[in-house]
Every structure is written in C-alpha cells, then in structure tokens.
Amino acid sequence: MKPEIDKKRIIVAALVGGVIFCIIVTIFDYFLGRGFSWVRLAFYFPFAVVMYGYLTYRNFKKQNKK
C-alpha cells in the first residue's frame, strides 16, 4: 500500500512559500527604490503559491516512490 500525499501540508507549504516570496520581493523593491504596489503583489502571490504548491507536491511524490 502506497502512502498518500497529505494535501493539507502541500497547501500550507504553498501559502507559507507565497507569503515569504512576497515579503522578499517587497524588501527588494524597497531597496531598489520602487514603491509598494498592491497590483504587483496581487500578481506575485498567486503565482508564488501555485509554484511552491507544485514543487512541494512533486517533492512529496518523489519521496513516496522510495
């Protein structure tokens, strides 16, 4: 029997990764002299959540094969 991939852990990891990514982007924007933009964060957050979710899912799937 194969262990299942915990969807709750993937969602939490994706959300945390998305928030951390947005914080880092905001810090870089501040140091580069760009202003704060909700529009930029509205684009980056869903993109980062999807990417971190996919990478976490792929990582769990790879670990379960072993």
Mean pLDDT of 2-15: 86
Task: Please tell me the predicted confidence (pLDDT) of residue 65.
Answer: 78
> Between 36 and 49, where is the model more confident?
49
Residue 37 has pLDDT above 90, yes or no: no
Q: In the structure encoding, which two tokens stand for residue 56, read together?
A: 């976490």
Average pLDDT over residues 32-50: 92
How many CB atoms sit inside 10 A of residue 59's CB?
Answer: 13
Helix intervals (H) in the chain: 7-31, 38-65
